[in-house]
């Protein structure tokens, strides 16, 4: 199991372990706050152990039912009801079983062009819908659900349409819960004690990810293994042994030194959406009270040919966090035609050399580079990584002196938007 | 023609026109440097007027030939040989003609998973290749070309494979030019006086974009119209009348005030790759000598549910540049089922209200918001926008006191990477 753990590499950082240890007390206090379970919205912390087994069984059964009923499963949601599922589906595509429906997304924007194109694609497909919204009032998913429900009714008639709608919403209240009860849609629960950006290991992510043919039990096992490393004291729950704490301390130390942008970098394009998930996790948790590390994402080696110059020689306000997938899967051998220097090598070997070369070049230029090792693209590692980052993010936010689990700033634009719409 | 121009909106910025006018002299000097044509790598500036008509005719003929020969056109390139084409194809999809090949990309990364999946997709398709590399030695496209050439030869035999390869490279030198001459591939020229990130309106972009069924003549006309506004003195080539100069001055002024991140935002997902193109343009042009505004991209309203909190209340180091597509095309009417507040409205109307609401909320919070108006998704506007941003970026870099057209920092990692590969 050793090689299945998430690893942290801080080589070359020009601060000593001692320098990080000044964070120990605050980190331990944060850890206690998470463990106590008394803080609001910390349900995700014990979720790998405490999840509702009956709900999970219902999710697996629903996923099987969805597989039989459709070739495209349209997932309607935004923010935390979108990014985690998308991250899992794209990263874990090779781990998905054959014969499961394709996952499409809707209601993650208000673009008519996007949704017209989606409707066109769905015209001759067998589809089911999954609508995910705690309140049922968020504009984007409400609009998309309205449009797709109408489409479904036209296609299948009202009764069969109802059989093809799966809802994940509040247990008791809200307009979506009311409609669900009235229409008899099959439904699952967005837990009260888990916020959107922390919800991918709840029904919010589990149903659509299971529907894609990904082993969600293994995902939960991965999260439980990572949580177990912390709770068992395997890491000593202290610096410098605990990778999550070290990562939280390192990024706070870098922030204090003026590194206010964290660039998440992956050498596999399949991690692009996982990085989007990280951006919400960190950006929404830390970006408040005039503070916060700005999270950005880059795909390498692609973006070395666009942002590489800036990283190497530009404004030195950036630190880098590499997401390193250690085993990228089956390789492709480079043929003769590609030139003598590369012929006969594996593409993944060259990709790894790029990672090592960039790391060396950036460290030589004085850029702080953190590397997080993710063993491979499988559900277990995904679950571990999710829980690792959720905890590290919460601990980071505590160090920064902000509440990790609220997002008071997202209401202002909605109010302004309503007022624009009412004026019209 | 009036409504076809790129517009700039600086409402709510808390600096006066006078404050921008201190940049006038330096901007005019920059403008003269661009106009003089004596500076290295400024060929893009006069390209909308000076492009090689014979080459364009050959490009259009090749595009027609490609259309007849294949259903998938694989474009191999990275950086400036990738981003501009991708930006055009995704943004202008509705303007493309039916019956043209699908564009796929290769060699923009070194992921074996990505390329294995691409090969699988290509197995039962009729394909042609386009390989774009000035030197022919860049690792990513060399590797992908090696692999895809082998694939092509297996599929069609050596001779027919050669007929399906289109090369865009140096006029005279380099390994790719040598191979092209030896094998008799059809080829086009990467101009000597235009750098990668400024090359989309040369053969580098024109061939693959034309192959996708997009009217590249209209693109060049759009660029020429924008360039004409400047050269005719229609804008007076001075602040505050000249939108490109105003934009350059505004972003430099914001940078001086500590706004070191420029977030490019679009409310249409189809602009995601155009934003990636902007990131290379600005990041690689300005990120040097320890300076530069860090360019980041967000998709709205999607990312309001991830980064909206940070923008509204987080670290106030950000300014925003909205890419506002004024006419998003055919609308979708929101049905009853979406709730009374939205039913009957158009989706685009709500999207516009989001843009207005966010702008108001952010301006109230003291965030500087620049809005660039792009009339619609058509080749003319694309060409105008490309040239507008190219010039504005060059002028910005001059104001910042850096050379806009070099990228000395991208060699370090390549050297380190080679040394890793040689050690193995």
Residues B134-147: what's their mean pLDDT?
A: 95
Residues A334-346: what's their mean pLDDT?
A: 88
Cβ distance B301 to B267 under 8 Å? yes
Catalytic residue among B39, B140, B262, B284, which?
A: B284
Residues A372-388: what's their mean pLDDT?
A: 97
Catalytic residue among B97, B241, B256, B414, which?
A: B414
Distance CA A424, CA B354 (A): 13
In angstroms, the separation between the Cα of residue A95 and the nearest Cα of chain B is: 13
- Confidence at residue A216, expressed as pLDDT on a 0 to 100 scale: 98
ipTM over 0.90: yes
Distance CA B348, CA B345 (A): 9
Q: Which of A309, A337, A338, A409 would best serve as a mutation to test chain B binding (most B beta carbons within 10 A)?
A: A309
Which residues from chain A sit within 8 angstroms of residue B328, using beta carbons?
Answer: 111-113
Which residues from chain A sit within 8 angstroms of residue B290, using beta carbons?
Answer: 313-316
Residues A391-420: what's their mean pLDDT?
A: 95
Which residues from chain A sit within 8 angstroms of residue B308, using beta carbons?
Answer: 284, 409-410, 413
Q: Which of A112, A151, A409 would best serve as a mutation to test chain B binding (most B beta carbons within 10 A)?
A: A112
Confidence of residue B150 (pLDDT cuts 50, 70, 90): very high
Residues B253-265: what's their mean pLDDT?
A: 97
Name the more confident of A1 and A416.
Answer: A416
- Confidence at residue A238, expressed as pLDDT on a 0 to 100 scale: 61
A351: contact with B, CB 8 A cutoff: yes
Catalytic residue among A18, A305, A313, A411, which?
A: A305
Residues A182-195: what's their mean pLDDT?
A: 97
B279: contact with A, CB 8 A cutoff: yes
Q: How far is CA B18 from CA B21, B23, B246, in A?
A: 5, 9, 11
A291: contact with B, CB 8 A cutoff: yes
| Cβ density class B89-103: b for 16+ within 10 Å, e for less | bbbbbebbeeebbeb
- Confidence at residue A1, expressed as pLDDT on a 0 to 100 scale: 39
A1: contact with B, CB 8 A cutoff: no
- Is pLDDT above 80 for B139? yes
Name the more confident of B166 and B242.
Answer: B166
Angle between helix A347-364 and B139-156 (nearest 10):
170
Residues B43-67: what's their mean pLDDT?
A: 96
A100: nearest Cα among A68, A59, A124: A68
User: Which strands make up the sheet holding A186-189, listed edge to edge?
Assistant: A102-106, A72-76, A127-132, A165-169, A186-189
A284 is catalytic: yes
Residues B273-279: what's their mean pLDDT?
A: 98
Confidence of residue B341 (pLDDT cuts 50, 70, 90): confident
- Is pLDDT above 70 for B263? yes
Instruction: Kindly tell me the burial class for residue A203, based on how many C-beta atoms sit within 10 Å of its own C-beta (0-12, 13-18, 19 or more).
Output: buried
Q: What is the pLDDT of residues A276-333, one digit of tens each?
A: 999 999 999 999 999 999 999 999 999 999 999 999 999 999 999 999 999 999 999 9
- Confidence at residue B3, expressed as pLDDT on a 0 to 100 scale: 47
Confidence of residue B232 (pLDDT cuts 50, 70, 90): confident
Chain B stretch 6-35, residues whose beta carbon is closer than 8 A to a beta carbon of chain A: none
Chain B stretch 295-324, residues whose beta carbon is closer than 8 A to a beta carbon of chain A: 295-296, 299-318
CB contacts < 8 A (A, B)? 405
Q: What is the pTM of this model?
A: 0.97
Chain A stretch 52-111, residues whose beta carbon is closer than 8 A to a beta carbon of chain B: 78-80, 82-83, 94, 108-111
- Is pLDDT above 50 for B129? yes
Distance CA B45, CA B39 (A): 11
B149 is catalytic: no
Q: What is the pLDDT of residues A97-156, one digit of tens each?
A: 889 999 999 999 999 999 999 999 999 999 999 999 999 999 999 999 999 999 999 999
- Confidence at residue A2, expressed as pLDDT on a 0 to 100 scale: 41
Across the interface, do B309 and A284 touch by the CB < 8 Å criterion? yes
Residues B357-381: what's their mean pLDDT?
A: 96
Q: How far is CA B408 from CA B237, B284, B285, in A?
A: 31, 10, 10
Residues B294-303: what's their mean pLDDT?
A: 98
Q: What is the pLDDT of residues B162-211, one digit of tens each?
A: 999 999 999 999 999 999 999 999 999 999 999 999 999 999 999 999 99
Q: What phi, psi does A342 have (nearest 5°)?
A: -115, -20
- Is pLDDT above 80 for A343? yes
Q: How far is CA A246 from CA A10, A317, A322, A393, B136, in A?
A: 9, 21, 15, 12, 43
Across the interface, do A424 and B349 touch by the CB < 8 Å criterion? yes
Distance CA A131, CA A187 (A): 9
Six token digits for residue B213: 């069924």
Residue A5 in 3-state DSSP?
coil
- Confidence at residue A423, expressed as pLDDT on a 0 to 100 scale: 86
Query: Considering chain B, what percentage of its residues have pLDDT values greater than 90?
Result: 88
Name the CA radius of gyration of chain B, rounded.
22
């Amino acid at each position: 199991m050793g090689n299945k753990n998430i690893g942290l590499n801080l080589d070359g950082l020009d601060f000593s372990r001692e320098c990080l240890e000044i964070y120990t007390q605050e980190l331990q206090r944060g850890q206690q706050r998470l463990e106590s379970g008394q803080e609001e919205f910390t349900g995700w912390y014990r979720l790998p152990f405490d999840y509702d087994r009956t709900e999970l069984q219902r999710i697996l059964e629903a996923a099987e039912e969805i597989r039989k009923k459709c070739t495209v499963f349209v997932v309607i949601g935004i923010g935390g009801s979108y990014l985690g599922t998308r991250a899992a589906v794209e990263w874990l595509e090779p781990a998905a079983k054959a014969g499961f429906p394709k996952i499409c997304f809707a209601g993650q924007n208000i673009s008519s062009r996007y949704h017209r194109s989606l409707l066109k694609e769905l015209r001759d497909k067998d589809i089911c819908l999954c609508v995910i919204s705690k309140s049922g009032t968020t504009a984007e998913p409400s609009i998309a659900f309205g449009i797709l429900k109408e489409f479904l009714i036209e296609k299948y008639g009202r009764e069969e349409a109802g059989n093809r709608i799966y809802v994940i919403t509040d247990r008791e209240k809200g307009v979506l819960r009311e409609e669900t009860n009235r229409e008899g849609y099959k439904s699952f629960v967005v837990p009260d004690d888990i916020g959107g950006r922390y919800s991918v290991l709840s029904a919010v992510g589990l149903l659509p990810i299971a529907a894609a043919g990904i082993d969600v039990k293994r995902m939960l096992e991965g999260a439980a293994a990572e949580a177990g490393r912390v709770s068992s004291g395997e890491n000593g729950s202290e610096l410098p042994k605990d990778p999550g704490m070290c990562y939280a301390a390192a990024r706070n130390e870098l922030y204090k030194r003026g590194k206010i942008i964290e660039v998440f970098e992956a050498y596999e394009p399949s991690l692009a959406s996982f990085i989007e998930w990280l951006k919400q996790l960190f950006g929404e948790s830390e970006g408040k009270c005039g503070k916060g590390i700005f999270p950005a994402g880059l795909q390498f080696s692609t973006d070395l040919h666009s942002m590489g110059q800036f990283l190497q020689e530009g404004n030195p306000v950036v630190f880098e966090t590499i997401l390193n997938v250690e085993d990228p899967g089956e390789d492709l051998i480079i043929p003769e035609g590609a030139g003598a220097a590369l012929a006969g090598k594996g593409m993944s070997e060259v990709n790894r050399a790029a990672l090592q070369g960039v790391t060396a070049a950036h460290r030589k230029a004085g850029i702080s580079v953190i590397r997080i090792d993710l063993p491979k693209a499988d559900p277990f590692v995904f679950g571990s990584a999710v829980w690792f980052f959720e905890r590290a993010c919460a601990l980071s936010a505590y160090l920064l002196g902000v509440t990790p689990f609220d997002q008071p700033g997202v209401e202002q634009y909605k109010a302004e938007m309503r007022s624009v719409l009412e004026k019209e």
